[in-house]
Amino acid sequence: MTGPTAGLPLEGITVVSCEQAVAAPLATRQLADLGARVIKVERPGSGDFARAYDETVRGMSSHFVWLNRSKESLTLDLKNPEAVRVMEELLRDADVFVQNFAPGAAERLGLGAERLRDLNPRLVTCSISGYGSAGPYRDAKAYDLLIQSETGLVSVTGTEDVPAKSGIPAADIGAGMYAFSGILAALYERERTGVGTDVEVSLFDSLVEWMGYPLYYAAYGGTPPRRTGTSHAAIAPYGTYAAGDGTEYVLSIQNEREWAAFCEVVLGDPAIATDPRFDTGSRRVAHRDELDAEIAARLAPLSGEEMGERLDRGRIANARRRELAEVLEHPQLSSRDRWRDVGTPVGEIRAVLPAIGLAGREARMDPVPGVGEHSAAILAALGYDETEVARLRHDGVL
């Protein structure tokens, strides 16, 4: 590896991943971003089923191009004993094995954590499942929306009248990031002990952890947080407010100093701050509808530019409520040169640099692979000649 990606912290680490969908591919892409070699094992023919989620990125799936850059694709039919032998050869010298099979499937294939650690004691294994390896929900289907529903996220998202799921796959993302951090911790531990360990992550446990504040609120407050759209169940004013020309800002008033400044500088009426309906945080929440009406009346004469200037002058926490087309052109991204071109089987696409930045080094932004694009090269490195590779293809192993 040369150039700005040289010397990344996971350079020299090899990850083999039997992955599909979102959670596991997100975890391994984070590892690849930091320099690891990631060999993605896919089904012969169709590959990871996320490849077919949609065709919006020049015929490729938006989920797939997001999650799979900088990886090598190897196709194997793991129900074939010869494919399992190839996996064993790969894993003898690998550092990490990730899988998001259904619970028990890895063991049935001969790829369970205990057996693999007999093969390679230094191997870090990571299993990602829907509900974990035990319990009454162990074998339940675990698509992201189902997990959002079971963990209560849907119950606190949306409006008072209509609950809603998160607009992004929150359970998958949570599990992927916990798997990523768990693998890093296991690799660090291996440096001290010389022995790998097993990391277990479930979508359910990940999202229950993210639900910490609502769960405490319900357990000790007696009632769950209200669904309030972009507002906040315990803070007001908080949420989306519009200037007279329709420009929308999201406001977050979190202390009395900001509240007084907001009334004086933005609303132009300091008396609102001491109105007995609004003079404490709890009273503002209790009288939220009246408060919002007062705010709307005073913002109506303002343009979006005037509203933004007043918010900044009053040092009020605020943000533009942007549509996705605006985010693609966000000045914070362009001014910091956060976009890169990434290769794919259908040409280059734009991608944002990863969130983890390392001084003087840039994350890997290598191409998104085609199905099985690297199978021959990976097998050649294991000692298979062209005749053997051709036979494996003919026999449906690859």
C-alpha span between 229 and 239 (Å, rounded):
8
Return the H-helix or E-strand segment holding 261.
helix 256-261
> What is 207-246 written as a DSSP string?
HHHHTHHHHHHHHHHSSPPPP-TTS-SS-SSEEEEE-TTS
Catalytic residue among 63, 232, 374, 394: 232
C-alpha span between 45 and 43 (Å, rounded):
6
* Catalytic status, residue 232: yes
Return the H-helix or E-strand segment holding 378.
helix 375-381
Q: How many CB atoms lie within 10 A of CB 347?
A: 11
Say what angle helices 170-193 and 23-33 make with each other, to 10 degrees.
50
Q: How many CB atoms lie within 10 A of CB 125?
A: 26
Query: Which amino acid, 166?
Result: S
Q: How many CB atoms lie within 10 A of CB 42?
A: 25
Q: What is the 3-state secondary structure (H, E, C) of 121-154?
A: CCCEEEEEECCCCCCCCCCCCCCHHHHHHHCCCH
Burial level of 97, CB count in 10 A (0-12/13-18/19+)? buried
Any idea what the Cα angle at residue 216 is, between residues 214 and 220, rounded to 5°? 125
**Coil/strand/helix, residue 396:** coil
Which residues does the annotation mark as catalytic?
Answer: 232
